[in-house]
Amino acid sequence: MLLIMVVAVAGMVMLYLRGRGAFRPAVAETGTLHVTGVSPRPDALGEQYVTITGTLSGPTEPGTVVYGRFAWDVNAWPSIGDAITVVYPSGKPERWQIAHPGARPSLGS
């Protein structure tokens, strides 16, 4: 009987916390990745894998060094100095993704 009461109270606490937003997913933030390194462009055509390294900055991130590997069209291969719009969970810039995968990166200054 005691076990049933403990489980019932725990369930009510979970419902209460869920209603207050304690278990809602993190809000995505938009930032800019300034490319500082990129793997060499292959001779093959079409989409190929590229490894990109750069500094991600956004509303709550002053500048975090990150990297990622993506399938990329060789005709629009990124280069050092490009600025790419990215999204990432608030407080977790290492989980960044390209905001618009089909978009070409804008040239950096």
Residue 6 resides in a domain: no
Residue 107 lies in a domain: no
Tokens coding 101: 């995968």
Domain count of the fold of the chain: 1
Tokens of residue 60, six digits: 């709550």
pLDDT at 108: 42
Q: What confidence tier does 22 reach under pLDDT thresholds 50, 70, 90?
A: low
The answer as to whether 89 is a domain residue is: yes
| Any domain includes 11 | no
Residue 58 lies in a domain: yes
Model pLDDT for residues 27-56, shown as the tens digit of each residue:
788 999 999 999 999 998 999 999 999 999
pLDDT of residue 105 exceeding 70, the answer is: no
Name the band, by pLDDT with cuts 50, 70 and 90, for residue 109: very low
Question: Is 66 a domain residue?
Answer: yes
Residue 38 within any structural domain of the chain? yes
SS3 for the chain is: CHHHHHHHHHHHHHHHHHHHCCCCCCCEEEEEEEEEEECCCCCCCCEEEEEEEEEEECCCCCCEEEEEEEEEEHHHCCCCCCEEEEEEECCCHHHCEECCCCCCCECCC
What pLDDT does 20 receive? Answer: 60
User: Domain limits at 74?
Assistant: 28-98
